[in-house]
Amino acid sequence: LTAEKYPGFTRNDQFKKLTEKDVDHFKGIVGESALIYNNEDDLAAFNTDWMNKYRGQSQLVLKPKTTQQVADILKYCNDQRIAVVPQGGNTGLVGGSIPVFDEVVLSLQSMNSIRSFDDVSGILTADAGCILEGLDNWLNEKGYMMPLDLGAKGSCHIGGNLATNAGGLRLLRYGSLHGTVLGLEVVLPDGSILDSMSTLRKDNTGYDLKQLFIGSEGTIGVITGVSILTPRRPKAVNVALLGLNSYDDVQKAFKQSRSELSEILSAFEFWDNNALQIYKKHSDAKPLMESEYPFYVLIETSGSNKDHDDEKLTSYLENMMVDEVAQDGVVAQDETQIKNIWSVREGFTEALGKEAAVYKYDISMPVPKINECLEDMRQHLKDGGVFGQPDSPIIDVVGYGHVGDGNLHLNIAANRIDKRVPELIEPYLFEWVAKQNGSISAEHGLGVAKNQFLSYSKPEGMIKMMKTIKDLLDPNAILNPYKYLPSK
């Protein structure tokens, strides 16, 4: 799906088209070197998303360096009715960070300083444009770590993580950003600065307004700063990979890991053999196991005492083998092997991106339903005549994800564009998920990819209240238009 246009979207004529006078005004705010204007080559990276699926037509990118500059930009845009798209590391997977038409891109990439760190409490305050991996490396020196981790860590910003309420690989252990974030600095569309940069763990004075902005995908404010609680970096980390014969065994392994590894369990990820085949096709990495199995789980433990953790993990793995829950197991012996196992798990997104087309779904549901969902989709696509025959457009339906959080990444890879495929998947899959009381977007958000389907996961009353909040905070609807809330 290369840089497709946006079927069904019409530019909102209430938004002003940029004039030279506007550009001069912005130059006065950020300085000439902090904007890109009318230069197709330099604008391309800001107009195209990570998947190369969506493409905008913005003529202007602004890169403010201070919160006050963000405030001045938004105040002017609001007064002039100029639409704005906040952009972080541009790794989002639902087209949220890309303009749909000619919206101005407000990139946070130049706001990338660490503001403070308290090494007693582990509370970090930082600009929103700090890259997640950069923050994690900085904290490493102090014996701490970021409470979230994801495959895009080398590019995504903490501000983008907050705006999408990113989940990732260690939510199981450290919880969601709704719990670890203590405070935010947000610029509202009218240019006012909402400062709740609290460094308190406990503060029950009034509505917890910062929570509204976590997961709001740049539609009600631009996050410029964060105060976040960071955990101690564990002294001992182990990673094991299991090969299993059935999804039932995946569930048994998960249940048992919670009981036997309990407080040291820091990740429990899964993938199926279909995902492994796509990865192998695009990678020359050596196989991690001699034989192949229908399912794999990655188990990570993190603790403070290596001997204690080793003992627990060894006993758990022995039990898995004796009880024939796992058919094979590998334990990483050093840092390189840990990285090798993780790079398979983190490599599926990129491998899938190398296929001609990929239809990505990020859904949550009760853990027992996850493989049923994959199998049902495979059958549905076979019945629809687009999968399972030598000339079928669909290569495979693959599953991987944060099984410990009930979060499946269901990806459908195709060797060519065939319009029967999306018609067969949507809304079929969303209906299926809704029947399980699941979510049509577990962690990637809504953007332009899922906003029209919000009613499969939220009742009418809630959507109405969301619209009321949007109207209240952004009455001119200048922030990230056409996205997040259903427009049709």
**Residues interacting with ligand FAD, by CB under 6 A?**
50, 85-93, 96-97, 108, 128, 150-152, 156-157, 159-161, 163-164, 166-169, 217-218, 222-223, 349, 443-444, 447, 480
Rank residues 242 and 358 by Cβ distance to ligand MLT and give the closer one: 358
Min. distance of Cβ 99 from ligand MLT in angstroms?
Answer: 23
Cβ-based nearer residue to ligand FAD, 78 or 327: 78
Q: Which does 64 bind (CB under 5 to 8 A by kind): ligand MLT, ligand FAD, none?
A: none
Count helices and strands in the chain by DSSP H and E runs: 16, 16
Among 63, 210, 369, 409, binds ligand MLT (CB under 6 A): 409
Q: Which does 409 bind (CB under 5 to 8 A by kind): ligand MLT, ligand FAD, none?
A: ligand MLT
Kindly state the number of chain residues that form the binding site for ligand MLT, as judged by CB under 6 A. Answer: 6
C-beta nearest to ligand MLT: residue: 349
Residues 303-362 that bind ligand MLT (CB under 6 A): 348-349, 362
Of 193 and 331, which CB lies nearer to ligand FAD in the complex structure?
193
Half-sphere exposure of 394 (CA within 13 A, CB side): 26
Nearest residue to 258 (alpha-carbon basis) of 311, 305, 303, 316: 316
Report, in Å, the least distance between residue 309 CB and ligand MLT. 24
Structure tokens at 193: 């600065």
Helix ranges, 118-195 (H): 132-140, 158-164, 171-174, 177-180
Nearest one of 278, 421, 425 to 354, comparing CA atoms: 278
Neighbours of 211 (CB within 10 A): 14
Q: How far is the CB of 422 from ligand MLT (least distance, A)?
A: 18
d(CA 51, CA 398): 17
Asked if residues 320 and 256 have their Cβ atoms less than 8 Å apart, the reply is: yes
Is residue 176 within the footprint of ligand MLT (CB under 6 A)? no
Between 86 and 401, name the residue whose CB sits nearer to ligand MLT.
401
3-state secondary structure of 426: coil
The owner of tokens 């860590």 is: 153
Least separation, in Å, of the C-beta of 197 and ligand MLT?
29
Q: Which listed option, ligand FAD, ligand MLT, none, makes contact with residue 127 (CB within 5 to 8 Å by class)?
A: none
Q: 64, 129, 147, 151: which one contacts ligand MLT (CB under 6 A)? A: 151
Contact 466, 200 (CB under 8 A): no
Single out the residue of 407, 449, 398 nearest to residue 1, CA to CA. 449
118: helix, coil or strand? Answer: strand
Contact positions toward ligand MLT, by CB under 6 A? 151, 348-349, 362, 401, 409
